[in-house]
Amino acid sequence: MLFQLYEDFGQSPWLDNLRREWVNSGRLQEWVDNGVRGLTSNPSIFEKAISTSDAYDKQFKELILANNSVEEAYWELVITDIAGAAKVLDSVYQKSAGTDGYVSVEVDPRLARDTNRTIQAARSLNNRLDLPNIYIKIPGTAEGIPAIRQMISEGVSVNVTLLFSVERYEQVIEAFLSGLEEREGDLSDVSSVASFFISRTDSEVDKRLESIGSDTATALKGKTAVAQGQLAYRSFLKAFGSDRWKALEKRGARLQRPLWASTSTKDPQYPDTLYVDSLIGPNTVNTLPDATLKAFVDHGTLRRTIDIDFDVADRVISDVQELGINLDEVANLLELQGVEAFENSFENLLETLTAKGRTLTE
């Protein structure tokens, strides 16, 4: 199923989760053997992995006893996991000639509104890992856009995260293209994906549609997120079919593929593979939590759907807005909530590790 998704439809299935036990036990290798072509992580994933497992205790204790701060120890734990996962996925990276096989790690989420410190953190993470199949995740906030452009110009591969609107996505494409244009020589060593978050949009818009309560509003529930993803793909086709892109492609530039993130359904009334089945198409990535990945393998639908009808997607967005729902406002709210959620996960994990450090060194 996963092999068909890539070979027949051009979409790369990635795993949106990481645990040290999976790396050490061979479970991650099993995912790769079954068709997974990349992996994404975020602060919430690491909070859950580290706080609910003793697999990190030995290394963490050694780091604390070596007089590392809790935060310094945290980053060492993360780097160990990311490097381990990158080693597992290196075979995919090599076989795909650098198209897939990437592992994504996010900069400190507390820097999402600070361009200069984001640049410094991205450089530091990239240098410390020093692996070809690593994506440094940078939030696609207004402050993140210049950092993305700078990192691309320096040859750092970037996963742009927390995108909730087509407008912001187009700004990210511009940052990517501008960064490449600032870089001299061959461009084949730079890679990027742009992570467009899907299900959270429906969660917020559906709540507003529910409050309206009309038949029209009810009929639109569960449609906005997919429509936005499809229109983002239209923007992708336009940007990467332009003469500007073709000039960069001659220098070896790689496509910045759209990546569908947050693809587990939050509403149990919707099919659990809704945000996979509805967004299948060439030169895209879908990063799936393990439960959604298992569901898709079991009963997903293999069909090209991403560009099935842009006119329908336009009508959905238009109809939602005509009901008085401001999608720019929704995107800004979701971005704010996303940044805060990752910040809270980061802070909570540091608190958990502080307490664990006292226990392990008593």
Residue 215, Cα to own-chain centre: how many angstroms? 34
Separation of CA 102 from chain center: 11
d(CA 244, CA 125): 31
Tell me the β-bridge partners of 159. 137, 193
- For residues 208 and 229, give the distance between their C-alpha atoms in angstroms, rounded to a whole number: 19
The dotted CATH code for 2-199+225-307+329-361 is 3.20.20.70
Please list the residues that pair with 195 across neighbouring strands. 259
The residue with tokens 């960064």 is: 179
Res 185: pLDDT = 96
State the pLDDT at residue 361.
Answer: 86
Other Cβ atoms within 10 Å of 305 Cβ, number:
17
pLDDT for 362: 75
Span 189-228, pLDDT tens digits: 999 999 999 999 999 999 999 999 999 999 999 999 999 9
Confidence (pLDDT) at 237: 98
Residues with pLDDT less than 70, the chain: none
Q: What pLDDT was estimated at residue 195?
A: 98
Cβ burial 12-43 (10 Å sphere, 16+ → b, else e): bbbbbbbbbebbeeeebbebbeebbbbbbbbb
The closest alpha carbon to 326, from 317, 335, 316, 315, belongs to 317
- CA 31, CA 277: separation in Å to the nearest integer? 20
119-143 per-position pLDDT tens digit = 999 999 999 999 999 999 999 999 9
Structure confidence at residue 141 (pLDDT): 98
pTM value > 0.75: yes
Q: What's the N-to-C CA distance of the chain in angstroms?
A: 50
Q: Which residues are registered as beta bridge partners of 284?
A: 11
Residue-level pLDDT at 360: 87
For the chain, the C-alpha Rg in angstroms (whole number) is 20
In one-letter notation, the amino acid at residue 142 is A
- Looking at the DSSP bridge assignments, the partners of residue 11 are 284
Catalytic positions, written as ranges: 137
Token pair listed for 193: 């994906």
Q: Tokens at residue 114, please?
A: 């600070």
